[in-house]
Amino acid sequence: MDIRFYNTLTHRVEPFTPIDAPNVYMYNCGPTVYDYAHIGNFRTFVFADVLRRFLELAGHKVHQVMNITDVGHMTDDQLADGGGEDKMAAAATRLKESKKDGRALVENPDDPYAVAEFFTTAFIDDAKRLNLKIADEYPGQMPRATDHVEPSMIPMIRSLIEKDHAYVADDGAVYFSVQSFPEYGKLSGNSLDHLKGGAGGRVQDSHQTHKRHPADFLLWKPDASHLMKWDSPWGEGYPGWHIECSAMARALLQRDTIDIHTGGEDNIFPHHECEIAQTCGATGHDRFANFWLHSRFLLVEGEKMSKSKGNFHTVRDVLEGKVTGRPVDPAVLRFELLKGHYRSNINFTAKGLADSASAVDRLRTAERAVSASSIHVSMRTIDNIDAEYSVINEFKAALSEDLNISGALGVLFSWLKSNPTNLIEMHDILTITNEVLAILPGSDAYVIIKDNTGTHVGSVDQDIKMKCKALDDARVAKDYDKSDAIRKEIESAGYEVKTTKKGTVASKRLA
Give the β-pairing of 174-176 and 217-222. antiparallel
Which span sits near Zn ion by CB under 5 A: 25-33, 96-104, 125-133, 393-401? 25-33
List the interface residues with Zn ion, window 366-385 (CB under 5 A): none
DSSP single-letter state for residue 303: E
Which span sits near Zn ion by CB under 5 A: 21-29, 98-106, 122-130, 390-398? 21-29
Q: Which is nearer to Zn ion, 245 or 353 (CB)?
A: 245
List the interface residues with Zn ion, window 246-275 (CB under 5 A): none
Instruction: For residues 413 and 360, give the distance between their C-alpha atoms in angstroms, rounded to a whole number.
Output: 11
Is 399 a binding residue for Zn ion by CB under 5 A? The answer is no
Is 157 a binding residue for Zn ion by CB under 5 A? The answer is no
Is 245 a binding residue for Zn ion by CB under 5 A? The answer is yes
Q: Which is nearer to Zn ion, 29 or 55 (CB)?
A: 29
Which span sits near Zn ion by CB under 5 A: 206-214, 241-249, 374-382, 495-503? 241-249
- CA 289 and chain centroid, separation: 15
Least distance in angstroms from the C-beta of 470 to Zn ion: 28
Q: Which is nearer to Zn ion, 245 or 486 (CB)?
A: 245
Instruction: For residues 361 and 367, give the distance between their C-alpha atoms in angstroms, rounded to a whole number.
Output: 10
Instruction: Give, to the nearest 10 degrees, the angle between helix 39-57 and helix 390-400.
Output: 120
Which span sits near Zn ion by CB under 5 A: 17-25, 177-185, 243-251, 317-325? 243-251
Instruction: For residues 81 and 176, give the distance between their C-alpha atoms in angstroms, rounded to a whole number.
Output: 10
Q: Which is nearer to Zn ion, 272 or 469 (CB)?
A: 272
Which span sits near Zn ion by CB under 5 A: 12-20, 26-34, 450-458, 495-503? 26-34
Closest CA to 437 of 124, 26, 47, 42: 47
Q: Which is nearer to Zn ion, 29 or 92 (CB)?
A: 29
Least distance in angstroms from the C-beta of 29 to Zn ion: 3
Instruction: For residues 212 and 179, give the distance between their C-alpha atoms in angstroms, rounded to a whole number.
Output: 9
List the interface residues with Zn ion, window 104-143 (CB under 5 A): none
Closest CA to 433 of 474, 399, 483, 484: 399
CB 233 within 8 A of CB 96: no
Q: Which is nearer to Zn ion, 29 or 338 (CB)?
A: 29
Count interface residues toward Zn ion (CB under 5 A): 2
Backbone angles phi, psi at 450, to 5 degrees: -110, 150
- Choosing from 29, 62, 124, 258, the residue that interacts with Zn ion (CB under 5 A) is 29
Q: Which is nearer to Zn ion, 72 or 112 (CB)?
A: 72
Q: From residue 229, how far is each of 234, 244, 341 by CA, in Å?
A: 12, 14, 41
Strand partners, 506: 447, 497
Q: Helix H segments across 458-510?
A: 462-476, 480-492
Least distance in angstroms from the C-beta of 473 to Zn ion: 24
Contact residues: Zn ion, CB under 5 A = 29, 245
